[in-house]
A and B are shown apart, each in its own frame.
Chain A
Amino acid sequence: MKRAPGRERGFAQVARARLRWLVVGPPYLWLLLFFAAPFLIVLKISLAEAQIAMPPFTDLLRWSGEKLSLTLNLANYGFLLSDELYVSAYLNSLRIALNATLLCLLIAYPMAWVIARMPPGRRLVFLMLIILPSWTSFLIRIYAWIGILKNEGLLNEALLALGLIDAPLRILHSEAALYIGIVYAYLPFMLLPLYANLVKLDDRLLEAATDLGAKSHQVFVRVILPLSRSGILAGCMLVFIPAVGEFVIPELLGGAGNLMIGKVLWQEFFNNRDWPVASAVAIVMLLLLMVPIMLLHRYQARELEAR
């Protein structure tokens, strides 16, 4: 039997359109269920009032008599601004995350460079060495740092044994320990995008720059650095964003002085049981993080346009 060719194409088109939805649909559904919906719930709670009940917050919509009333309580946000604690926790989080990101970049860039210049077989070995630790539990690895950094820990014992110090250094529960923990935990997230970027860098561009009279530092500043900008940005985002909201590392390694917003959030939810304020804290954190993400997006769009 012969089919009209136009009809056949129609079927194929419909089939392809369905296939496309089948491929694109699930991730969207996933994001809708597990990102958009929880976000809206949190937003809703942040606009409610706390009450001692089940659930521990008021409804936004209320029927009374014939009237449907919507009550949006902005006091939670006002409270965040008025209380010194929250503002300083936010600023502290941003500062620590920023410093940790820079530290990661300074450590990861040379590492990524050296690995990217290795012969391909050896590259894989070194990449594995970097990825391997993340196969064990994050929590356990951070706990292990307590054993290393505490007063009678491995580090202090070693330094004492070598005679470099007379009394153990107080590292644990200080800002230094906090940075050690964050840099340790997030280094792979900085290193991998940098590596992926640097490994593609064409050696002949470096030779061309040298040939044209550039000394090695000039080659770095004028050729390597600009060409690896997208890797640097991606790595910084991957470290900075989770570091701002980090809870476990400041809790286990940080001191009382380094209040970070993740900890405040936890305390609001579990100690104070003030869900609306906790939700407001989360929403503001999200908004703060939106700024760098949007800047990155703008940059990437411009980069694509220039192409």
Chain B
Amino acid sequence: MTANTPPGARDGAEVAAAAATPAGSYLRVVGVSKDFADCRALEQVDLEVGKGEIFALLGASGCGKSTLLRVLAGFETPSEGHVILDGEPLDALPPHRRPVNMMFQSYALFPHMSVEKNIAFGLKQEGLRRAEIAERVVEMLTLVRMGEYARRKPDQLSGGQQQRVALARSLIKRPKLLLLDEPMGALDRKLRAQMQIEVVDILRRLGVTCLMVTHDQDEAMTMAGRIAIMERGRIRQVGAPAEVYEKPSCRYSAEFIGSVNLFEGRVSEQFPDHLLITSRSLPYPIRVGYAALVPDAAQVTLAVRPEKMSLSHSPPAQAHNKLSGVIERIAYFGSHSAYYLRTPSGQTVRGVLLNAQRQSGPRFVAGEQAWMAWEADAVVVLPA
């Protein structure tokens, strides 16, 4: 924002038009860009989040997701664009007047205040009656199951307890939008899984609209109803976890979520219900089990998830979608094992077998010759 012309004042008509949001989009981010001195952190970001939705911004560090969160909280002013929450433009509101609260990364609890004072902080600014503040603090303490720790100081709490306090502190003002910045970042693996469920449970119960930022795909997939994948300041794909995983729209989101085998190829034949693609790195053509809107002879990238690969000693009967190679390495993960097959063309292809499945089927050892095959429906066609 420039000092003399806040965006809200500059183009009021535009904001008013954008503020008339369609039903279902409670938070609207409209064309938000953010320039810093040396880089552009956000590039024309558009986003709509429904009321009561838990939405995750997922991306590697430096992709702009934290900047977007800070724009929503009001700590950063966008260079362009608007943020509209519940029909009200937020652009001109300073952080302390926004109906938005944030749970900070590693919590930022006030070290000199007890648990209950930390939680009460937001209400004390509102000038509520003491009795009402006390009542709502107790309500929050009960909600996050921290009642017996009310008088402790933050440094006398474990990581999970600190997180509960931070959550209670950010919820007590009943914000229209809750922001979570890497909510599980400071917890160890085991506690993380437990807190993910617990936090989602609390948010659902309160019906609060929540936007979270994370670099951890498991966290995003477990907690959020919808995910936006961000890369270099842009949103690459938005969708439900299964949708983003099964139908990545670009190479970046395919590679970012889970692991994936990618093959470069050229469309050789198109049919009403399937495609045939030839790849220089594979000896057999690839059959895609649906029609895709691609021009003839277009260069494409094909993505196949490792768990869609089947492994065998003898060549599969099908004419398409198979390859052979030497098992280079087997990685054991307890519940499943990953097999790395090196093809004659030099590509390493990853296949995953559940270990329950492995017990009944044939056994494979490193150094053996083996075949991998996959279904036509398992292939995702991406732009090259």
Contacts and interface: CB of A to CB of B under 8 A. Distances in A.
Interface of A: 202, 204-205, 207-215, 218, 222-223, 226-227, 306-307
B95 A306 contact: no
A226 B114 CA distance: 13
B112 A213 contact: no
Nearest to B98: A211
A209 B104 contact: no
Interface stretch (B118-126, B215-223, B238-246, B342-350): B118-126
Nearest to B99: A213
A60 to B, nearest CB: 51
Contact of B95 (A210, A218, A307): A210
A269 B155 CA distance: 54
B96 A307 contact: no
A205 B107 CA distance: 9
A213 B108 contact: no
Nearest to B102: A211
A210 B93 CA distance: 12
Given A212-B125, A214-B125, A204 B173 contact: no
Nearest to A215: B96
Interface in B81-106: 94-97, 100-102, 104-106
Given A213-B173, A306-B153, A208 B108 contact: yes
B108 A212 contact: no
Contact of B101 (A212, A223, A307): A212
Contact of A209 (B73, B75, B97, B121): B121
27 contacts: A202-B108, A204-B105, A205-B110, A207-B104, A207-B108, A208-B110, A208-B169, A210-B94, A210-B96, A211-B96, A211-B100, A211-B102, A211-B104, A212-B96, A212-B122, A212-B170, A212-B173, A213-B96, A213-B125, A213-B126, A214-B96, A214-B125, A223-B110, A226-B112, A227-B111, A306-B153, A307-B153
Interface residues of B, number: 26
B323 to A, nearest CB: 50
Nearest to B111: A227
Nearest to A203: B108
A215 B249 CA distance: 44
Contacts, number: 63
A131 B286 CA distance: 74
Contacts of A213: 96-97, 122, 125-126, 173
Contacts of A226: 112
Contact of B73 (A202, A211, A306): A211
A222 B126 CA distance: 14
A218 B96 CA distance: 11
Contacts of A210: 75, 94-96
A239 B94 CA distance: 39
Contacts of B102: 207-208, 211
Could you say which of A213, A226, A307 has the most chain B C-beta atoms within 10 Å of its C-beta?
A: A213
Could you say which of A211, A214, A222, A227 has the most chain B C-beta atoms within 10 Å of its C-beta?
A: A211
A222 B111 CA distance: 12
Could you say which of A212, A213, A223, A226 has the most chain B C-beta atoms within 10 Å of its C-beta?
A: A212
Contacts of B109: 208
A207 B173 CA distance: 16
Nearest to A211: B102
A211 B112 contact: no
Interface in B42-82: 73, 75
B213 to A, nearest CB: 14
A218 B97 CA distance: 14
A202 B111 CA distance: 10
A211 B155 contact: no
Contacts of A218: 125
A213 B106 CA distance: 20
Contacts of B122: 212-213
B163 to A, nearest CB: 14
Given A208-B108, A208-B110, 5 more contacts: A205-B110, A205-B111, A213-B125, A226-B112, A307-B153
A212 B104 contact: no
A221 to B, nearest CB: 11
A227 B111 CA distance: 8
Give 6 nearest A-B pairs by CB, closest first: A212-B122, A213-B125, A204-B108, A208-B108, A226-B112, A210-B95
Contact of A204 (B104, B112, B155, B170): B104
A302 to B, nearest CB: 13
A222 B121 CA distance: 9
Interface in B240-299: none
A211 B102 CA distance: 7
Contacts of A204: 104-106, 108
A148 to B, nearest CB: 39
A215 B112 CA distance: 19
Nearest to A225: B112
A306 B170 CA distance: 25
Contacts of A211: 73, 95-96, 100-102, 104, 170
Given A207-B75, A207-B104, A306-B153, A212 B121 contact: yes
Contacts of A208: 102, 104, 108-110, 169
A307 B157 CA distance: 11
B21 to A, nearest CB: 24
Contacts of B125: 212-215, 218
Nearest to A229: B112
Could you say which of B94, B96, B109 has the most chain A C-beta atoms within 10 Å of its C-beta?
A: B96
B50 to A, nearest CB: 23
A134 to B, nearest CB: 33
Contact of A227 (B106, B112, B126, B170): B112
A209 B94 CA distance: 13
Contacts of A212: 96, 101, 121-122, 125, 169-170, 173
Given A204-B104, A211-B96, A211-B102, A307 B155 contact: yes
